[in-house]
Each structure stands twice: as C-alpha cells, then as structure tokens.
Amino acid sequence: MSIATLLLTGTAWAGGERTFWLPPQASTIAPDIDRIFYLIYWVNVVFFVAMMGAVFLFFFKYKQKSPDQKTSAIKGSHTLELIGAVIPTILSVVLFVTGFRVYVDSSVPPADSMDVRVVAQKWKWDFYYPEAGVTSDSLVVPAGENVRLTMSSKDVLHSFFVPDFRVKKDVLPNRYSVVWFNAPDAGEHNIFCTEYCGDGHSVMLNTVEVLEPAAYDAWLTEQVAAASAPRPGPGIELGELLYKEKACNGCHTADGSALVGPTFKGLYGKSEALEDGSTVTVDDDYLRESIEAPAAKIVKGYAPSMPPFEGQLTDEELNSLIDYIKTLE
C-alpha cells in the first residue's frame, strides 16, 4: 500500500490494521473513535483545500493590474453570509453529537464488566484482581470480555494510555478514575504513562496481554497459586522480591544498563563519586542510607529524585535488599 493510499483512506475503517495516522484497532471502541478522527480529518481537508484554493485563486484573479487601478466596490451578500453561518453550525452539531455518543460509550463501563484495580506510582503500574485476590505487575485480561479499570495513584498525576485500545485517562492521587475496554483478539499491547510525572516518566511502561479465555483462566490459577505460596524469610530471595515490589527496578537495573538511577550491578564495594565532589565506598551503611534517605548522598550525574523509604521497610527487609544487591556482581 502506498503512503498516499494510507494518508487518504485510513484503512482502519475497514480492517483494524495500522494506518499512517493510527495504531491498529485492538478494542471494540477503537473503530468508533477512529471514525470520528477521520470525520474531523476530512472536514479539515475539505475546508483547508477550499480556503487555500480561494486564497490563491483571488491572488491571481484580483491582482492589481496597474498602479492606478481601483478595486471594484464591495457589496454585501445575504446568501453568502447565511451559507457561512449555516454550514459551520450544522458541522458543529454533527461533530458534537457523534463525538458525544462515542464519549458516553467509552466512559460508561458495561454492567457486566470484570474489575481490575490499577495503582500507579513513580514509576510503575500495579494491577490487582479483586475477585481472585492476586496482584500482577503487568495487565493480563481475557479476550472478548468487558474490563473495567479503577485507577488511583500513590503519589503524583499519571495517565494510563493504551494507544491500540484508544484508551487514555488521567490517574490521580486521592480520587479514582475509571476506564473500560473490550479487546476481542489475543495479543500484546503497550501501556504508556502519558502525564509527565518526574524523571522516570519515560520508563513508566507496561504491557497489556490479551489471552484467550482458557489461557487467561490458566494464568489466573497460576497467579492464585503463586500468591498463596509462603513468602520467603529474610535473605536474598526476599530482597529480590522487594526489589520488584517496591519498584526499585523502575529506576535501578540489575543488568548494568542505566535508567533514572545507578544500576545495582557491580554496585556493592565500588567507590562512587558524589555530586559534592567527595567519594564513598558502597557498603551496607551507604546502601541503607541511600534507601532510607536518598537525598543525603547523590551520585554524580544523577538527579535527587528518589523518594525516601524511611519507615517503610523493616530491618529484615532492608537487610534482605542489601544482601540481594550484593549478589549482583
């Protein structure tokens, strides 16, 4: 398919494929939303061409032929004025009515929706399945089912965005916001945070995995089993669990690559240059201080953006985290 065809037709109308303008349509509401996009797009194309055409036409048609040529007297036209008022009014009403209907459809979850709670924090998403009593660090849903997300934030404004579903809504502290979708086919889609929320905003990514109902049931059973397994006692295994649960992994990798904060790989025992020009050796004391009061010593080249964890971890948990970091040589 040529670029021109993509630009002009928007095949999303027909097949749900990716187009020049839009990602693939992976939810039941997506075709309705795209139809409005293309309606507005075409209204704009028609008027842009008509108005620019008139501008250029008049350039040449009414060009002053000689320095002393006078323009002809302009008389008013009720017909033109009426057309200029009626057409935009009709268009506005049509755009409002079509837009409002889809807005209501996309805002009000069907009564038979299954529930998932979404909790946003700097800088990760967590998903809670209230009926099954499980937590997941990525969103997994059954194909062909209405899913209602009730979302809240632990800290600042975030925004939940799945382009393939045409679903986007702010996630706020101290208030719940709700979105819903129905993804008819199995597949994987990106989740973005689309409200600037600090240093880690651009890495606040996740995925929604749509599974066939049988595969979804199997996944849920597995999660329930994992949730009822005993929690590890203090030690490396608990540390690794906390590394994910407390979202350390949102900013600190275990594989040596750089994110918002320094990587944990090879961290222990290393000597680290600080913003104030001094140097520290990374030992248990330094790690503990950096978890509880991160602003005390800022590593050179990094912003003081980590929230303090003082009072949020028991001594056993702090020790376990440090022991886990030690293993990442």
Any contact of residue 13 with ligand CUA (CB under 6 A)? Answer: no
Question: By CB under 6 A, is residue 35 in contact with ligand CUA?
Answer: no
In the bound complex, what is the minimum distance in angstroms from residue 310's beta carbon to ligand CUA? 23
248 is a site residue for ligand CUA (CB under 6 A): no
Nearer to ligand CUA, 123 or 264 (CB): 123
Question: By C-beta, is 85 or 203 nearer to ligand CUA?
Answer: 203
Report if residue 56 touches ligand CUA, rule: CB under 6 A.
no
Cβ count near 33 (within 10 Å): 21
Under the binding rule (CB under 6 A), the answer on residue 247 touching ligand CUA is no
Query: What is the C-alpha to C-alpha distance for residues 66 and 234, in angstroms, rounded to an integer?
Result: 93
Task: State the minimum distance, in angstroms, from the CB of residue 192 to ligand CUA.
Answer: 8
Q: Cβ of residue 34: shortest distance to ligand CUA, in angstroms?
A: 25
Residue type, 237: E
- The binding track of 61-100 with respect to ligand CUA, each residue x by CB under 6 A or -, is ----------------------------------------
> Binding-site residue total for ligand CUA (CB under 6 A)?
9
Q: How far is the CB of 254 from ligand CUA (least distance, A)?
A: 22
Nearer CB in complex with ligand CUA: 200/239? 200
92-126 b/e with 16+ CB inside 10 Å = b?
eeeeeeeeeebeeebeebeeebeebbbbbbbbbbb
CB nearer to ligand CUA: pick between 246 and 265: 246
Is residue 127 within 8 Å of 135, Cβ to Cβ? Answer: yes
- Return d(Cα 45, Cα 35) in angstroms, integer: 15
CB-wise, 207 or 279, nearer to ligand CUA?
Answer: 207
Q: Which 3 state secondary structure label does DSSP give 211?
A: strand
Please say whether the beta carbons of 39 and 21 come within 8 A.
no
Q: Are strands 139-142 and 206-211 parallel, antiparallel or unpaired?
A: parallel
Contact at 8 Å (CB) between 284 and 158? no
| The two three-digit tokens of residue 198, written as one number | 């600090």
Under rule CB under 6 A, which residues in 152-211 are in contact with ligand CUA?
158, 193, 195-197, 201, 204
Q: Among residues 157 and 298, whose Cβ is nearest to ligand CUA?
A: 157
Residues 106-125 that bind ligand CUA (CB under 6 A): 120, 123
In angstroms, the first-to-last Cα distance of the chain is: 50
Instruction: Considering the complex, state which of residue 204 and residue 328 has its C-beta at the smaller distance from ligand CUA.
Output: 204
Instruction: CB nearer to ligand CUA: give 175 or 270.
Output: 175
In angstroms, give the least distance from the CB of 196 to ligand CUA. 6
Q: Does 126 engage in binding with ligand CUA (CB under 6 A)?
A: no
Q: How far is the CB of 123 from ligand CUA (least distance, A)?
A: 6
* Helix, strand, coil share (%) of the chain residues, nearest 5: 40, 20, 40
Instruction: Extract long-range pairs of 246-251: CB within 8 Å, 24+ residues apart.
Output: 246/309, 246/312, 246/313, 247/121, 247/122, 247/123, 247/124, 248/321, 249/124, 250/122, 250/123, 250/124, 250/200, 250/203, 250/204, 251/123, 251/199, 251/200, 251/203, 251/306
The footprint of ligand CUA (CB under 6 A) covers 120, 123, 158, 193, 195-197, 201, 204
